[in-house]
A and B are shown apart, each in its own frame.
Chain A
Amino acid sequence: MYLNPRLTIGAIAALSLVTLAGCGNDPQSSSGGSGGSGSSSYAAVIKGLDNPFFQQMQQGIDAQSKTDSVSVEVQAAQSVTDTSGQADKLDAMAQQGYDCYVVNPISGTNLIQGLARIAAQKTPVVNIDSPIEADAAAKADLKVTTYIGTDNSEAGKMAGDTMVDALGGSGKVALIGGISGDVTSAARIDGFTAAVKGKLTTLPVVAADWDRQVALTKATDILSANKDVAGFFAANDDMALGIARAVANAGKTGDIAIISVDGIEDALKAVKSGDLYATVAQYPYAIGQMGVQACEMASAGNQLPANITAPVAVVTKADADQALAKFPAPFQPFDNPLG
């Protein structure tokens, strides 16, 4: 008569597991995603939408899927540090039998497990923006169909060349990086340093964690310690906007050239107003579009090159209006091997 609470829970738990397992059927036949009405359907797993860069990437994906009338289900991580959560999201979508997966992994390795299983079923995997670590992928038997991304070192180099022009060939430049040890930040800064070598003097890299507030603080410190700083290079736009505030606080707007990489809308506006000297625009929108195009080609059985470079363009005051008008699409035509 007396109901043992633990026995009751145990029984229900066992029952529910049996029910769950019993309902199992072939994932491939059960569902083709949300829009499996004959046409292809793709899945995209990108980084956190708390950053405008990835919002534009999603806009690009959505725009391209509309143009080509294919269905793409986009899921993003909770934040740019949510490595295991992003893996969970990929796993949830991996079971729905999409025809192709577009992924922008938070780290070089966090999606490898899930992708290895997808790739094993000969489903194409298109890696965009942040690269999957090659060694790690090889060990897990993961073959990525193609990688689409910007050359960060090239973007840094273009920023460097612009800085040399801006300063008239000589001067002292402060370098503000992202999170210490970050690969993207390192590539951009290395590209920049290489381009200005022998022309400009550079201060040691200061990490500002990709954060506008942190950059404001660090730039204020740098300005008070080095009266003769003529330029700042920031590894992303957000930090550059923080630096611009610090420079304005010091009353030096226009005297100090701030150049960064990314090309977010706020940065384009700041270039137009003169707060920033230039930004090297990468086009997450275009990367998103190209990811969908790559999926279409791969599904159709076409061979794709292992690496595809997405467009980069320097935006200075002269181009700012045009760039803003077209935003988030590129304002200049570019050579698209997929289009």
Chain B
Amino acid sequence: MTTAQPATAGQRSAEDYKRRLAELPWPELASTLGLVGLAIIFGIANPGYLSEGNVSAILQAAAILIILTIGQTFVVATGGIDLSVASTMTLGAVVLGQFYAQGWNIWLAAVAGLVATLLVGAVNGLIISKGGITDFIVTLGTLSAASGMALIISDGRKTTIIEPVLIKLSVNGIGLFSWAVIIALGLAILAHVVLFHTAFGVHVLAIGGSAESSRSLGIKVWLVKTGVYVISAGLTGVAALLLVARVGAAEPAANTAFLLNSVAAVVLGGVSLFGGRATVIAPVMGALLLTALVNGLTRVGLSEFYQPLTVGVVVVLAAFLTRFNK
């Protein structure tokens, strides 16, 4: 990039190589490299791990987490956090289930569920941006409120939803990718375009970098902040449909693991928890990494007692990698 100095060729290329290596965005690369490493290790330890069927199973199992991770990425990019993703998804699933039980068409019921989640997102966003209350507290509150509403609306009961079209969603598809996976990856591409090719996306990163600067440059900080919480919640509404398809029922269960994993995937994806720096691809790779890890541990027969521990170690190691890069 700068003009080369007249030095010996060997020296120059070695230095050039070193400099370029240092310039690589390591935090963003961590999840992808981790995934590749994992594929190699498990591929050797367990011959069937890289089989078409298992890769397809990993992608299938990752679809819901990928969608939640995308939303979490937008929120974290502004320097916030959305602790309510999992319970908002539960609420969306339960609302879907209630309308379905009333005889609504499954897609209309899914739209009703989506509307419910969008409302939660708007409440989150407005209380945080206009009310000036810390995101952590607000979304912790909605975490509880949304699961409470899910219990009230469903009366604590699950609604069985076995629709051939929903089964097809996760069984049919193109090659390795079921329709559920294609939806998740499509949303990831859309999110990438929004983050890097629209003014909104730049403003999301700008607010995460410096809300004060953004405000003085005339960016409507409250609107963008509300926007990311609505996006995050809306994505939980889509995830709710996939969840219902996956477990064949709308249940008021807590699904806490999804919350923890969405934050972990974002951290693995090198997104700064202080905001301002984010990609979509790397957190999606983080979500795949977490899913592929649990799949591999299951296949090699590691007891489920050790699995959360292993996942925790991987996440903390990734956080270290991000830190050392600075």
Contact = CB atoms under 8 A, between A and B. Distances in A.
Interface string A1-21: 111011011101100100111
Interface in B311-326: none
A221 interface: no
Interface string B55-83: 10110110010000000000000000000
Contacts of B218: none
B282 A84 contact: no
* Interface magnitude class on chain B: 35 or more
A94 B57 contact: yes
Interface in B10-35: 20, 23-25, 28-29, 32-33, 35
B249 interface: yes
Interface stretch (B115-123, B127-135, B163-171): B163-171
Interface in A109-159: 109-110, 112-113, 116-117, 133, 135-136, 139-140
Interface string A71-89: 0010111100111110111
Interface stretch (B100-108, B152-160, B207-215, B222-230): B152-160
B4 to A, nearest CB: 10
Given A3-B24, A27-B51, A91-B57, A107 B1 contact: no
Interface stretch (B41-49, B137-145, B198-206): B41-49
A6 B160 CA distance: 43
Nearest to B244: A109
Interface residues of A, number: 60
A78 B39 contact: no
Contacts of B58: 92
Contacts of B282: 9
A109 B196 contact: no
Contact of A9 (B32, B48, B60, B295): B32
B236 interface: no
Contacts, number: 185
A108 B24 contact: no
Nearest to B29: A9
Given A13-B285, A20-B39, A75-B304, A95 B48 contact: yes
Interface in A40-63: 48-49
Contact of A12 (B32, B47, B248): B32
B156 A181 contact: yes
B160 A108 contact: yes
B246 A84 contact: yes
Contact of A20 (B55, B161, B247, B308): B55
B25 A23 contact: no
Contact of B162 (A6, A24, A135): A135
B52 A84 contact: no
Given A20-B50, A75-B304, A181 B155 contact: yes
Contacts of B156: 179-181
A31 B53 contact: no
Given A92-B299, A140-B167, A109 B249 contact: yes
B51 A25 contact: yes
A31 B29 CA distance: 32
B162 A31 contact: no
A117 B155 CA distance: 32
Given A24-B51, A140-B167, A8 B36 contact: no
Interface of A: 1-3, 5-6, 8-10, 12-13, 16, 19-21, 23-27, 30-31, 34, 48-49, 73, 75-78, 81-85, 87-89, 91-97, 107-110, 112-113, 116-117, 133, 135-136, 139-140, 179-181
- 4 smallest CB-CB distances across A and B, nearest first, come from A109-B248, A24-B52, A23-B50, A31-B48
23 contacts: A13-B285, A21-B176, A23-B50, A23-B51, A24-B50, A24-B52, A49-B303, A78-B257, A78-B308, A85-B257, A88-B57, A91-B57, A92-B57, A94-B57, A96-B54, A109-B248, A135-B162, A136-B160, A139-B162, A139-B164, A140-B162, A181-B155, A181-B158
